[in-house]
């Protein structure tokens, strides 16, 4: 792997990460992958996301190379992940850790605080109806407010979300992503979900590789870094804890293809 310059990125990009070396040996590693903006190109809406024909066979091949130690780590619900990648069903961290599918298929759902969030869903739904191009996605333990169809409306969406979070109390927080504002319990993070999955065989004891593209992936990058793993930020230049960078999902898919063939 190409080494990153010492230090974390700053707003001036004083220590911009480079790309990981192609065709890296996967022996002894575990592979964790975000989906939207990482493995797959971001679409206008979650339902419009397309999976290139070669991706499912590629992921299955990578799974064989790491003895099954491959998982999705996503903001999507696990049911939505399965629909995208059927018939493939990998271990997964869904809804930022609100759902975890263990390697044996056991599904664990974190319902703490979900009832409080569901109580404000009608209020948020009415607010989104007043913002052209905005849409609400209810993931039960997380509510996502999308505005990719109207990026100029981001301030209005954020204002609506801030009003609701203020009424929910300190146990909830806002997470800002690519044309999305998410409201979720503070304890739900991809990093926390990743740590749970790492404790299970066949992931246990392996060096983690994690690729993600957004602010919600940053705590997972830090978990991977502390374990001496490989953290890869996909997409635009900006501050990140990731040690490596790839330009876009197409480049990430190319990197995965080279690893599968090495």
What is the residue extent of each domain of the chain? 29-110+188-261, 114-185
- Evaluate if residue 203 carries a pLDDT over 90: yes
Q: Provide the pLDDT confidence category of residue 112 given band limits of 50, 70 and 90.
A: confident
Kindly state the tokens that stand for 36.
């939207």
Tens digit of pLDDT for each residue in 2-41?
333 333 333 323 334 666 776 567 889 999 999 999 999 9
- Which residues are the active-site residues? 34
What SS3 state is found at 110?
Answer: coil
Question: Does 14 or 181 have the greater pLDDT score?
Answer: 181
Domain 114-185: CATH superfamily, name plus number: Trehalose-6-phosphate phosphatase related protein; domain 2 (3.30.70.1020)
* pLDDT of the residue at 198: 96
| Residue at token pair 């602010």 | 215
The burial of 188, by beta-carbon neighbours within 10 Å (0-12 exposed, 13-18 middle, 19 or more buried), is given as buried
DSSP state letter for 48: G
Question: Does 206 or 261 have the greater pLDDT score?
Answer: 206
Q: What is the pTM of this model?
A: 0.84
- Residues 142-163: what's their mean pLDDT? 93
What CATH fold (topology level) applies to the domain 29-110+188-261? Rossmann fold (3.40.50)
* pLDDT of the residue at 4: 35
C-alpha distances out from residue 92 to 52, 102, 194, Å: 20, 7, 9
* pLDDT of the residue at 47: 86
């Amino acid at each position: 792997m190409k080494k990153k310059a010492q230090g974390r990125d700053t707003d001036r990009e004083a220590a911009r990460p480079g790309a990981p070396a192609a065709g890296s040996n996967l022996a002894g590693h575990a592979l964790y992958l975000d989906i939207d903006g990482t493995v797959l190109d971001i679409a206008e809406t979650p339902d419009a996301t397309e999976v290139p024909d070669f991706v499912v066979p590629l992921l299955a091949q990578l799974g064989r190379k790491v003895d099954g130690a491959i998982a999705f780590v996503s903001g999507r619900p696990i049911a939505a992940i399965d629909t995208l990648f059927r018939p493939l069903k990998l271990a997964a961290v869904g809804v930022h850790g609100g759902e975890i599918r263990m390697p044996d298929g056991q599904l664990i759902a974190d319902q703490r605080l979900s009832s409080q969030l569901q109580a404000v869903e009608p209020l948020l739904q009415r607010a989104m109806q007043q913002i052209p191009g905005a849409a609400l996605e209810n993931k039960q333990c997380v509510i996502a407010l999308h505005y990719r169809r109207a990026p100029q409306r981001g301030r209005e969406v954020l204002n609506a979300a801030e009003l609701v979070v203020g009424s929910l109390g300190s146990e909830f927080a806002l997470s800002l992503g690519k044309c999305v504002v998410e409201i979720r319990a503070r304890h739900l993070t991809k990093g926390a979900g990743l740590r749970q999955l790492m404790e299970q065989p066949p992931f246990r004891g392996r060096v983690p590789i994690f690729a993600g593209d957004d602010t919600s992936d940053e705590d997972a990058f830090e978990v991977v870094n502390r374990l001496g793993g490989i953290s890869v930020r996909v997409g635009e230049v900006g501050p990140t804890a990731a040690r490596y960078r790839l330009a876009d999902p197409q480049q990430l898919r190319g990197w995965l293809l080279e690893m599968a063939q090495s």
